[in-house]
Amino acid sequence: MPVRAAPTIMPGYLPRKYAMSRIDELMCKMTLPEKLGQLTMTAAGYAVTGPIIAGDSTEAIKTGAIGNLLNLIGPGPIHEMQRLAVEESRLGIPLLIGLDIIHGHRTLFPIPLGEAALFDRDAWTLTARASAVEAAADGLALTFAPMLDVSRDPRWGRTAEGPGEDPWLGAQIAAAKVRGFQGGGLACADSLAACAKHFCAYGPVTAGREYAAVDISERTLREIHLPAFAAAVKAGVATVMPAFTDLNGIPMTAHTALLRDTLRGEFGFDGVLISDYNAIGELIRHGVAADLAEAAALALKAGIDIDMMADAYRKGLPVALERGLVTMEQIDTAVRRVLALKERLDLFDDPYRRGSQPEDQETVGRRRLLARSIAARAAVLLKNDRDTLPLAKVRRLALIGPLADAPAEMRGPWWAAGVPEGQVSVLAGLSRELEGIEVLHAPGSAIVGDDCGHIAAAVELCDHVDAIVLCLGEGANMSGEAASRACPELPGPQRTLAEAVLDRAHGMGKRVTAILFSGRPLIVPWLAERADALLAAWFLGSETGPALADILAGRVSPSGRTPVTWPRALGQVPIFFGQRPSGRPADPKDHFTSKYLDVPNEPLYPFGHGLGYGRLVQSNLRVAPDSVTESGTIEVKVDVTNEGAHSAVETVFLFTRDKLASVARPLLELRGFAKVELRPGETGTVRLSLPAAELRFLGADLAPVFEPGEVEILVGPCADRSRLLVGSVRLLA
Ligand code: BGC
């Protein structure tokens, strides 16, 4: 037999299959404290986003006891921390550094609720991309966004951060945002790891009160609160953050069934789970863990990899190991996931690449232009009687209200690295960009409080002008986290101010436009009744003033559509278009029907509502084919004509209604939208395709079913059924 030469191994070369991966090698070398360091994320102190403020982390980074940071900005400080980890710690593992880049980093775009009003997937992606590029240039590698919690309760302050009331819309935004943040792949120097949060069903907190318990059905959970997260996972989201809240008695931070079985198992999420701020420690106050060791064990077993700010893993897991509550294998699994994310972000090979190239002025300028055009498109014109807007024949304008000259407030909640003076106020924008119009200004009152002393001067201003613009609403910190409001109306003396101005202006036949700043729909039926024009500006970000000038001057026809229903009374909450039918639908002639004695059922403004400067009419709905099987596609066409005198953008919404099914279906379900821009007199045809498989729903056993029968196809400008064109399609088995 010929003797085979033994395979020679060249020095430094190991056949690939025998080579140890970097992660395997590190896992062999790491001590328990170093492993727990990789599972720990500590706040660096630039932004305060929670109750515990950490001290100096430098020593802990050097010893490997802290492997991840949040709330740090700027290439200098970030690279210095990174240097400590890479060059001074024993194993040189780079840090993962994140920040809440929720609607921009230094350049701020409209708050997420305002961006939802764009109904434009490309725009959603574009702003996330622009924010990622800016944040990565600052040295960051992770953002805690997108926030995907559906909210149907305007009392909840975090309504501002999310996609609004509709689950399908939430899923569209989720995919678009993940694509935008993660760009061409996590390894790219201008990409950030995204974080889908807060998983899940954080929106329906009891009574709209922040951090309160959540109790909802399994159907509501699956139909309303999970789809956006499933979409984020499908889009490849790198990380997920569980909600602070408990769901039907089980805090999300310890929810093994949802985190491990649904998110990782059913949806296939293989990324990193990051706890919310101190949430693991709060398992003790939730009453499900006796001490930090138990809390840490619950979270780890549920699949949470990184402990943000509770120090529960570092302090609790060694004890939990001793008590046999967790295994080393469970810890190792989490460590491997964290290291794998750092590897995917290319942090090992090039820890300083993010933040190594300062941005040039042209890039910064282009981003501001984008912020201006997005802001102008996110504002929603709720009312525009007698063509009050755009301003015509106005030589002098009174700009009144506490939010007129308030650049810092224009940031809205979560401003990342946006400095207070980085925003152009309404006053500055209008003064600069309304040609031929002199702008006179009086604040009239503060945002909150009860001082009415400045109202008279503001009212007096009305005598000297041709038109009045009121800038009213909430301050930036009145929505967002920990900003629930039991009475989401105009705060402080603003109603008194507005009514005094309206009285005086209307007494002289002058028109009043009210611009509302808020992180939620405000309950202002009286203002909607009395103002001649009403514009929901949410918080539009850095270019607020110029964007509003574009709208007021008529350079941009408003095209935002509200992603939340506006209630007329707080007692209507929760109010949303996707309600299921009652067995006794409202009938004013029949006492025993589903209605209020004191207010109508109808909202102040329905979901999808928003006017432009044209007069857009939808007609001639065509649905083809007449019948379709589960694998088919329904093609919907509708003509849109601009009968007005201005160019305008129309949004066409596609809803369905399954009138007869084994489970009661909502009165309307959103399935699609499209936009068309039309010049005066122009007609366009909008086409929407709906795969029939999307008409599956969760049957009585919560498994998806496709049931034969007729389904209504409803198309129109908003979720007001009386304004929808109705067609139908037959589903075949
Ligand atoms: C918020 C998260 C945020 C985290 C870090 C928490 O208080 O709930 O949304 O990502 O802080 O700032």
SS3 278: coil
647 burial (CB, 10 Å; 0-12 / 13-18 / 19+) is middle
Ligand 1, atom 2, lies closest to the CA of 276
Residues 254 and 303 sit within 8 Å (Cβ to Cβ)? no
How far apart CA 307 and CA 65 sit, in angstroms, is: 13
pLDDT for 48 equals 67
pLDDT for 672 equals 98
414 burial (CB, 10 Å; 0-12 / 13-18 / 19+) is buried
b/e code 87-105 from CB counts within 10 Å (16+ = b): eebebebbbbbbbbbbbbb
How far apart CA 631 and CA 615 sit, in angstroms, is: 38
From the candidates 149, 166, 276, 346, which is the catalytic residue? 276
pLDDT digits (tens, 9 = 90+) for 553-579: 999 999 999 999 999 999 999 999 999
How far apart CA 229 and CA 203 sit, in angstroms, is: 14
Region 507-530 average pLDDT: 98
Looking at the predicted structure, is the pLDDT value of residue 244 above 70? yes
pLDDT for 15 equals 54
Maximum separation of any 2 CA atoms in the chain, in Å: 113
pLDDT for 18 equals 61
pLDDT for 379 equals 98
Q: What percent of the chain has pLDDT over 70?
A: 96
Identify the band that residue 53 occupies on the pLDDT scale cut at 50, 70 and 90: low
> How close is the Cα of 49 to the center of ligand 1, in Å?
6
> How close is the Cα of 50 to the center of ligand 1, in Å?
7
How far apart CA 674 and CA 441 sit, in angstroms, is: 39
Domains within the chain, CATH numbers bracketed: 371-572 (3.40.50.1700), 616-731 (2.60.40.10)
Mutational test site, ligand 1, from 195, 481, 484, max ligand atoms within 8 Å of CB:
481
Pocket, ligand 1, Cβ cutoff 6 A: 49-50, 70, 100, 144, 197, 276-277, 481
Distances (CA, A) of 158 to 378, 413, 478, 693, 723: 18, 9, 10, 33, 30
Question: Would you call 385 a catalytic residue per the annotation?
Answer: no
pLDDT for 20 equals 77
Tell which atom from ligand 1 comes closest to the C-alpha of 198.
9
What is the CB neighbour count within 10 angstroms for residue 696?
15
Q: Of the candidates 556, 646, 566, which has an alpha carbon nearest to the alpha carbon of residue 609?
A: 566
> How close is the Cα of 281 to the center of ligand 1, in Å?
14
Identify the band that residue 142 occupies on the pLDDT scale cut at 50, 70 and 90: very high
Looking at the predicted structure, is the pLDDT value of residue 9 above 90? no
Residues 92 and 102 sit within 8 Å (Cβ to Cβ)? no
pLDDT digits (tens, 9 = 90+) for 440-494: 999 999 999 999 999 999 999 999 999 999 999 999 999 999 999 999 999 999 9
Looking at the predicted structure, is the pLDDT value of residue 528 above 90? yes
Ligand 1, atom 12, lies closest to the CA of 49
pLDDT for 440 equals 98
b/e code 671-680 from CB counts within 10 Å (16+ = b): bbbbbbbbee
How far apart CA 732 and CA 628 sit, in angstroms, is: 6
Q: Which residues contact 605 (CB under 8 A, 6 or more apart)?
A: 382, 521, 528, 562, 565, 566
Region 98-117 average pLDDT: 98
Region 11-34 average pLDDT: 80
> How close is the Cα of 283 to the center of ligand 1, in Å?
16
Tell which atom from ligand 1 comes closest to the C-alpha of 145.
10
> How close is the Cα of 240 to the center of ligand 1, in Å?
12
pLDDT for 56 equals 80
Identify the band that residue 55 occupies on the pLDDT scale cut at 50, 70 and 90: confident
Identify the band that residue 529 occupies on the pLDDT scale cut at 50, 70 and 90: very high
